[in-house]
Amino acid sequence: MPSFALDQQQEEWCRQVRDQAAARLRPLAEKGEPGRVNRPLLAALGELGLLDRLFTSGALELCLLRESLAQECTEAETALALQGLGGHPVLRFGTPSQRDRWIPGVRAGRAVAAFALSEPGAGSDAAALALDAVPDGAGWRLTGEKKWISNAPEADFYTVFARTGEAPGARGVSAFLVPADRPGLAGRALDMLSPHPIGALAFDGVPVGPEDRLGEAGGGFRVAMDTLNLFRPSVGAFAVGMAQAALDATLAHTAGRTAFGGVLADLQAVAHRVAEMATRTEAARLLVYAAAGAYDGGAPDVPRRAAMAKLLATETAQYVVDHAVQLHGAVALERGHLLEHLYREVRAPRIYEGASEVQRTIIAKELYR
């Protein structure tokens, strides 16, 4: 079993990413408008070479990148991750023409990518997709709706999953690369708790051809799962980064805040709670690294490990941030406070890319397989 202690070079790189996030990315994030794509922030991620690392890194390095960004600037972390989520299917399954057209722009932060899987009636059960791909000559017409799509409706292209009907259930879904300017495609923004852009897409006979398909006909579920198996551990890394930021803030606050003739950290109830927060954060971090290492090593149990990592890390982050707010008291509820921001950010990862209940189902199925 490999060790998951980082070496000196990895530690230094993570520190550099944190420094870049604090000095260059956070000021751009603070100027952004909640619920809108922050294109200057994306451009800076491209200029720093961080978007490029999305497509040249293994799973472990992706986790280190997301964790480091999350500690200093969750907006930058999310912007980077969404580029990867929307762009990875094109890189892995796209034709040379598709890759040449879109991937350079994604890497530079010029082209905004989106991953369009969820629908009003198909969130956790991705095999229940209803977006219809009706045959039209050599191609198809997409009709239906997608909902809760990050970066919609402002993305420049979407990786879209639609039912082409080669077989029942998941085996009858295909993936398509759909540019945002296709006729019949419209979108609207959704007002959500999370500060990053999320929207709905309406498809009214949107034309797509064989040249727009990603992978084989009926192979869309494989495209989706290949992407999610890579990104699920790194969602856990995002959560670990938020937990670490909350833990660091709590250590500083409880060590300096006077109360009852001493400081908060002198109270055993406080010190023990902080110890629990730190222990859970470290355990989640190690499970995330183990899942990423399994992916990089081509292990056969990646789906189980990825699900475990996402489940534990996102639930842990919720626990740590909640207790950090409690130990800070009312100040943590003020708009603009780090913990107020993290409290809003930390809730969504327990739902997207497979809710915690879905992760438990995946784990159980893999155990009993």
- Active-site residue numbers? 353
Q: Where are the beta strands (DSSP E) in the chain?
A: 113-116, 132-136, 139-150, 157-163, 173-179, 185-189, 198-208, 213-214, 258-259, 262-263
Q: Is 348 helix (H, G, I), strand (E, B) or coil?
A: helix
The two beta strands, 262-263 and 139-150, are unpaired
How far apart CA 39 and CA 29 sit, in angstroms, is 10
Based on its alpha-carbon atoms, the radius of gyration of the chain, rounded to whole angstroms, reads 21
Alpha carbon of residue 128 to chain centroid: 22
Q: State the angle between helix axes of 302-328 and 220-256 in degrees (0 to 180), rounded to the nearest 10.
A: 30
How far apart CA 334 and CA 341 sit, in angstroms, is 9
Contact 119, 145 (CB under 8 A): yes
How far apart CA 226 and CA 223 sit, in angstroms, is 5
Ramachandran region, residue 159 (left: φ > 0; alpha: ψ -120 to 50; beta: rest) = beta
Sign of CA dihedral 138, 139, 141, 142: positive
Contact 112, 142 (CB under 8 A): no
The phi and psi torsions of 125 (rounded to 5 degrees) equal -90, 85
Contact 144, 106 (CB under 8 A): no
Residue 137 tokens, joined: 């000559």
How far apart CA 120 and CA 35 sit, in angstroms, is 20
